[in-house]
Amino acid sequence: MTGSEAIAYLETFANYERNTAPTYTSANYNLERVRLLCRRLGSPAESFASVHVAGTKGKGSIAAMLDSILRQTGRRVGLFTSPHLHHFHERIRVEGVCIGDSELSAAVAEVGRAASWVHATYPELGRLTTFELTTAVAFVHFARCGIELAVIETGLGGRLDATNVVTPLVTVLSSISRDHVEWLGATIDLIAREKAGIIKPGVPTVSAPQPPEALAEIRAASSERDAPLTVMGLDVRWQERLTEAGWRVDVSADGWHHEDLPVGLYGRHQALNAAVAVTATETLRTARIGVAAEAIRAGLASVRWPGRFEVVPGEPTIVLDGAHNPESAARLREALGDRFPERPVMLVFGTSRDKDAAGILVALGPVARQLVVARSGHPRSTELAELQAVALELGIVAEAAPTVSAALASAREGARAGDVICVTGSLFVVAEARAALGIESEGW
């Protein structure tokens, strides 16, 4: 089995990233079949410690920061994230290195045999999904590599997510807002309840600042499970500032403090994400995993996470950012204003059908002088005519381009001196822009 064949095999199962997902219930997202799969594989996730990260905004960035920090300690660290930008292999990393074809093939073969056993023995549980199998592949690879720690990002929600079979040393909740409302619920409290489903009995939890209704759900879950809760802004203080060299942050709580930490990712929101990652790192001390201050500083400074306010050198300036809901779009607008004050912005925009395109455009509208809409090759991408109609309702006349590459070319051709081209709305759109720019392998 080649690497391509291994991925093709995984794609023969239900892939809810590419196709419309069913109702978010335990019948469709069945953790029992994932537990059985892992037991059949010899419980690989029990061979390493983990940090589990969920949330709406910033969970991938926080996971990347934690991975970068923990690797500075000399420990062997794994990172599991989704979705990928360019290649499936990006989802599963050990010591910063993507899983190789031969490693992927071997792990998929082992997981496939175990999956066949689960399906034959417990048909009433339904068939495993692509993401559930991929999660098991990551666990198998991590165990084979002998990692000590894994940073594991949830896929969708938390309570019923395949990654929720782990019992971590620390649970982390990034900022929660409205997203995936068709599956997780239409209100913040319902969404937060699903995210807080990853909180485990007795396991310390670190939460970013949250809307009151989200924090109430997190507190309730923590109290019910006797899980110590640390909330940024209440239990931990942080102060960010913008310097010529980028963002810096001070983070402190009773018993520890870190001053003037450099943040390798740009934006005020990334300074907060860094503060969350630092707090999670300090919380690991309760599990007797100490991380030196120098490792925290070096890890934050060196973290790389392409497609998140990624500035491409050259003229015109191009910014690539995967903002895909109104709240993340507002953070993008703020970052554009901080980094490129008073400079006009040309938006190249495309998004998925389940996203709030109007809300995203409202958030970005104040800084945009021109809009080019595009459709990525992803099957869930929004039709061009629909994007143009949404823009027109907001009083914006949008140019349409058949592909992201064509939209980027049009924006570059029409750019004036000083313009900033911002490609956003979806990581799938950002991925195609990176490919068009020839930078697929850069920034990792």
Distance CA 53, CA 82 (A): 12
Both tokens assigned to 349: 């925009």
The predicted structure's pLDDT at residue 441: 85
The predicted structure's pLDDT at residue 183: 54
The predicted structure's pLDDT at residue 161: 96
Distance CA 305, CA 299 (A): 13
Q: In the block, which residue shows the tokens 């911002």? A: 422
Q: Is residue 142 part of a domain?
A: yes
Q: In what order do the strands lie in the sheet with 149-153?
A: 97-98, 92-94, 77-80, 149-153, 49-54, 170-173, 205-207, 229-231
| Residues 6 or more apart in contact with residue 279 via CB below 8 angstroms | 206, 230, 232, 236, 251, 253
Q: Is residue 442 part of a domain?
A: no
Backbone angles phi, psi at 199, to 5 degrees: -70, 130
The predicted structure's pLDDT at residue 444: 72
Distance CA 276, CA 53 (A): 11
The predicted structure's pLDDT at residue 395: 93
Which residues share a beta bridge with 246? 243
Q: Is residue 285 part of a domain?
A: yes
Distance CA 55, CA 278 (A): 17
Please tell me whether residues 17 and 161 are part of one structural domain. Answer: yes
Which regions in the chain score pLDDT beneath 70? 20-22, 24, 178-186
89, with CB counted inside 10 A (0-12, 13-18, 19+), is middle
Please tell me whether residues 290 and 326 are part of one structural domain. Answer: no
pTM to 2 decimal places: 0.95
Q: Is residue 115 part of a domain?
A: yes
The predicted structure's pLDDT at residue 365: 87
Please tell me whether residues 341 and 383 are part of one structural domain. Answer: yes
Please tell me whether residues 298 and 316 are part of one structural domain. Answer: no
Q: Is residue 320 part of a domain?
A: yes
121, with CB counted inside 10 A (0-12, 13-18, 19+), is exposed
Distance CA 393, CA 404 (A): 23
The predicted structure's pLDDT at residue 179: 63
Q: Is residue 443 part of a domain?
A: no
Q: What is the CATH number of the domain that holds 323?
A: 3.90.190.20
The predicted structure's pLDDT at residue 417: 92
Please tell me whether residues 93 and 207 are part of one structural domain. Answer: yes
Question: What is the per-residue pLDDT across 305-327, written as a single tens digit (0 to 9) for each?
Answer: 999 999 999 999 999 999 999 99
The predicted structure's pLDDT at residue 27: 72
Distance CA 294, CA 74 (A): 12
Domain residues for 390? 310-437
Please tell me whether residues 58 and 194 are part of one structural domain. Answer: yes
Domain count, the chain: 2
